[in-house]
Chain A
C-alpha cells in the first residue's frame, strides 16, 4: 500500500533555531515529492518539488533533500521565525496507468515556533 509517513508528529522549537522534519514513503512507482506548508484553516502552499534525479532543493530558509534509494526525504528549516508555525506536509506523486499523478499525502508535522 502506498504510504507517506512523517516524523515527528509535532515539534516545538525556539525562534531562531533550526529544525529538520522527516518523511519516509513507500509510494511506487515514484514520480516526484513535494513539501507543502499549511497554516491552520488554510490551503497548503508548495515549498519545494523534487524529482527522482534531484537530491536537494532550496527555497529561502527551507532546504529539502531526497534519497530515492532509501525513499526518504527531509525538510530543514534554518533560523526559524514565528511565521514558520504551521503544518508541514510531505506529498509524493504516484504515477498511475491513466497518466494522472495521484498525490499521496503524509499526515504532516505540526511545528510551533516559540518566542
Chain B
C-alpha cells in the first residue's frame, strides 16, 4: 500500500464552524506533513510531524491546529477560518523523520476547502 488518503475530498465551511481534515497512511512512514496550496501556486509547508511529535510549525495561525494521534494518522483541526484560507490542503508522508535525508514525500489527493 503506497497510498496516502485524505478525507473529506471537499469541504465547505462558514467562518464560525469547527471542522477537521484527516489524513492516513499505512506505509510505516514516521514523518507526516500538512501543506496548503492556492490555485496555480506551489504547495506551502504548514506543519511537520516526526515520530508523532510536532517538528516544524511554519508560523501557521492558531486557527489551524494539527494533531497526530498515532503514526498512521494526521489531523488538521480548523476553527474560525477566513475566506483567504480557502485552498487545497495536502497531506504527505515520508519514510523517516527529521534525521534522514533523501526521502520521497508521498502526497495524498488533498482536501479542497472553501471558507464562506
Which residues of A are at the interface with B, using a C-beta cutoff of 8 A? 31-32, 34, 36, 41-46, 49, 51, 89, 93, 95, 98-103, 105-108, 110
Contacts and interface: CB of A to CB of B under 8 A. Distances in A.
Given A43-B90, A89-B42, A103-B45, A49 B104 contact: yes
Interface stretch (B62-70, B75-83, B94-102): B94-102
A89 to B, nearest CB: 6
A44 B105 CA distance: 9
Contacts of A45: 107
A102 B48 CA distance: 10
Interface residues of B, number: 30
B107 A106 contact: no
Given A101-B103, A103-B105, A110-B40, 7 more contacts: A32-B101, A44-B107, A51-B102, A98-B55, A99-B99, A100-B98, A107-B40
Interface of B: 4, 6, 40-43, 45, 48, 50, 55-56, 88, 90-92, 97-110, 112
Given A31-B101, A100-B48, A43 B107 contact: yes
A80 B101 CA distance: 32
B18 to A, nearest CB: 25
B101 A95 contact: yes
A41 B37 CA distance: 10
Given A43-B107, A44-B43, A100 B55 contact: yes
A46 B108 CA distance: 12
A41 B106 contact: no
B104 A46 contact: yes
Nearest to A42: B109
